[in-house]
């Protein structure tokens, strides 16, 4: 049981940060809620929007080739970054499966409108383990899912580089020696094409709408269609719900623009009709 208890507890602590307080209020008087394991109390994500990660940090890909992270940021496409260790008994696979499930419902394609990157935070992981995890993950994307290695590489690294990257992202995790497992949060980082943190999507399930809007936001509207950019003006990220929702002012602006277009069109038709009647009368 303890092999997967810490990651599960960490995810619950992240997704429901008020749960212990609520349990204390609703439970029997004098009964304390069950405490999280010590390692799980240290995990979480410190949001750092706009912070640039150190793209000079070098990691190994599935073939064992060592290269800086800058290689995966082309200045044109946003990058979805997941942190996972490849022998995780539960939570890492849940996050990766949830991400793949959301991406399958999105009409964007990895390698085209966006790139993805999965980095292990366990220095004992090997390129061979990364290759196996990548194959299992991308095969679930269906036809075209196993894109080129540069579209969604799985990386491993040494402890100093791992610690520097997780610190840049604000990803706090802890090693539990008794179980030889890590307690860690659940989420996906959405980075700009230049490697700055744009948004964090929390949990182990990701809707196509949230993924689309986060990618649009990170690319400043440079990916997607003109319709996508219109939709982006009507939704905003809500920190309370940690989801994208309708943006009232955006909807009002869109409605106002539609009304204005309608009025201009009506006036143009009225003037054209009047000119035509005058021309017919002159005959």
Give the residue among 223, 211, 162 at the shortest CA–CA distance from 187.
211
Q: What is residue 149's predicted lDDT score, i.e. its pLDDT?
A: 58
Tens of each residue's pLDDT in the chain, 283 residues: 444 444 444 444 444 333 333 333 444 555 555 555 666 678 999 999 999 999 999 999 999 999 999 999 999 999 999 999 999 999 999 999 999 999 999 989 899 999 999 999 999 999 999 999 999 998 888 765 555 557 899 999 999 999 999 999 999 999 999 999 999 999 999 999 999 999 999 999 999 999 999 999 999 866 655 555 555 566 666 777 767 777 544 433 444 444 545 545 655 566 666 566 666 666 6
Question: E-assigned strands of 152-242?
Answer: 154-155, 171-172, 174-176, 181-183, 187-191, 197-202, 235-238
CA dihedral 251, 255, 258, 264 (to 10 degrees): -140
Q: What is residue 144's predicted lDDT score, i.e. its pLDDT?
A: 56
Helix axes 208-218 and 226-233, enclosed angle (nearest 10)? 100
| Whole-number Å distance between alpha carbons of 195 and 282 | 67
Burial class of 63 by CB neighbour count within 10 A (0 to 12, 13 to 18, 19+): exposed
In this structure, how many other beta carbons lie within 10 angstroms of the beta carbon of residue 179?
Answer: 18
pTM to 2 decimal places = 0.72
Burial class of 205 by CB neighbour count within 10 A (0 to 12, 13 to 18, 19+): middle
Q: What is residue 245's predicted lDDT score, i.e. its pLDDT?
A: 74
Domains and CATH numbers, the chain: 2-223 (3.40.30.10)
**Sign of the CA dihedral with 185 first, then 188, 192, and 195 last:** positive
Q: What is residue 187's predicted lDDT score, i.e. its pLDDT?
A: 96
Cβ atoms 174, 42 nearer than 8 A: yes
Question: E-assigned strands of 71-155?
Answer: 79-83, 115-119, 154-155
């Amino acid at each position: 049981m303890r092999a997967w208890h810490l990651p599960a507890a960490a995810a619950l602590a992240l997704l429901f940060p008020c749960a212990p307080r609520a349990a204390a209020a609703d439970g029997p008087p004098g009964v304390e809620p069950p405490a999280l394991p010590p390692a799980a109390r240290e995990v979480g994500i410190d949001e750092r929007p706009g912070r640039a990660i150190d793209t000079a940090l070098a990691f190994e890909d599935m073939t064992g080739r060592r290269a800086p992270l800058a290689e995966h940021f082309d200045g044109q496409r946003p990058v979805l970054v997941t942190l996972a260790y490849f022998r995780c008994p539960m939570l890492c696979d849940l996050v990766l499966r949830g991400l793949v499930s959301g991406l399958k419902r999105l009409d964007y394609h990895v390698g085209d409108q966006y790139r993805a990157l999965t980095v292990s935070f366990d220095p004992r992981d090997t390129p061979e383990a990364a290759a196996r995890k990548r194959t299992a993950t991308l095969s679930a994307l269906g036809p075209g899912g196993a894109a080129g290695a540069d579209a969604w590489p799985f990386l491993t690294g040494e402890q100093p580089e791992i610690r520097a990257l997780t610190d840049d992202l604000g990803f706090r995790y802890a090693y539990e020696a008794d179980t030889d497992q890590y307690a860690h949060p659940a989420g996906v980082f959405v980075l700009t094409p230049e490697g700055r943190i744009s948004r964090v999507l929390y949990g182990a399930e990701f809707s196509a709408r949230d993924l689309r809007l986060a990618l649009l936001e990170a690319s400043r509207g440079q990916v997607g269609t003109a319709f996508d950019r219109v939709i982006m003006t009507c939704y905003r990220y809500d920190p309370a719900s940690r989801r994208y929702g309708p943006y009232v002012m955006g909807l009002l602006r869109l409605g106002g623009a539609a009304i204005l277009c309608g009025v201009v069109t009506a006036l143009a038709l009225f003037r054209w009709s009047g000119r035509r009647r005058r021309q017919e009368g002159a005959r």
